[in-house]
Amino acid sequence: KDKGFKSALHELDTHILYKYILKKILGIDNLRTNKNIAYANNVKGQEYLKEQVQNGNFKVAFGLYPISVEQMKNVADQDLKMPPKSTYILPKLRSGFTIYEF
């Protein structure tokens, strides 16, 4: 862990990618509105990302580990907002209530 990290956000791969690569190197300020950013959920998988780069549809692709429930709790406990697209969870909450027996 980097001693310069001060908040729960700094423990998230998504935040580190944004802060040190997307913003600092590529100059992308707003992940929600930048037209050069495309999101692919994990359902499509790493092969999808690889194909998109090889086919020239993407210039670069990043695959990140999922965020843990503990990490989400830590961010919430500090009253912070999760980075865009970092909380893609399946099944969706509404369908989870109808699918899983309690």
Structure-model confidence comparison of residues 6 and 38, the more confident one: 38
Q: Indicate if the pLDDT at residue 97 is higher than 60.
A: no
Question: Residue 92 has what pLDDT?
Answer: 65
d(CA 8, CA 80): 8
Q: Cβ atoms within 10 A of the Cβ of 17, count?
A: 16
* Ranges of each domain in the chain: 8-99
CB hemisphere CA count around 83 (13 angstroms): 22
Structure-model confidence comparison of residues 30 and 6, the more confident one: 30
Residue-wise pLDDT tens digits, 8-23? 998 999 999 999 999 9
Question: Residue 99 has what pLDDT?
Answer: 58
Question: Residue 44 has what pLDDT?
Answer: 77
Q: Indicate if the pLDDT at residue 74 is higher than 90.
A: yes
Question: Residue 84 has what pLDDT?
Answer: 84
